[in-house]
Amino acid sequence: MKLIEGLRYKIGLRKFRKTARRPEANVIACNLYKAKSIGIVYDATLNEDFEKVKAFVEELKSKIHIVDSIGYVDSAELSEFHTKHEDFKFYSKKDLNKFFKPISEITKEFCNCKFDILIDLNINEKLPNCFIVAESQAMFKTGLYSKNEPVYYDLMININKNTENLLEELIKQTEHYLKMINT
């Protein structure tokens, strides 16, 4: 079974790489606190990662009108922990097609939102989240630097992989660099 799933994953990755949107030359960069809307994509499988993203989302909501997030839970079903947070959106393996592409209404709605900034807080490659970031209608996209994947970010953040807590460091660096943008 794992062999078949691995093969489907590779096919999905190949399809993703063919269709991933490249950054546009006429990108509209926006300062973090001048943005009217922000979308955040992340891996919500681990509760401690969700708590870090939740704190960041709540901080942003105090300064920005619209902050929306969607987390991928790498399991067949959402746990009780995920379902008790009504203000946050989650999707799981049951919301994917056989090639790991998200097909639920919640993911389609998120991709169709025209956020001023989309922040990808994935530390490890999660193909379902890659599809969401690539298909997002956001004006400006930022995420962790990767030399392996197609460049669908307008700003890539390079952090030291030996850092003790990569997610906290990515959040800190993303916030730092998005505050520096002067439009």
The two three-digit tokens of residue 76, written as one number: 């067949």
- pLDDT by residue (tens digit) across 140-162? 999 999 876 656 788 899 998 88
d(CA 24, CA 90): 29
Q: pTM score > 0.85 for this model? A: yes
The CATH number of the structural domain formed by 2-180 is: 3.40.50
- pLDDT by residue (tens digit) across 94-118? 999 998 899 999 999 999 999 999 9
pLDDT reading at 16 higher than 80:
no
Contact residues for 63 (Cβ-Cβ < 8 A; gap 6+) = 33
The two three-digit tokens of residue 85, written as one number: 């947070």
Which residues on adjacent β-strands are paired with residue 89? 70
d(CA 152, CA 141): 8
- Check if the beta carbon of residue 39 is closer than 8 Å to that of residue 56: no
- Check if the beta carbon of residue 144 is closer than 8 Å to that of residue 156: yes
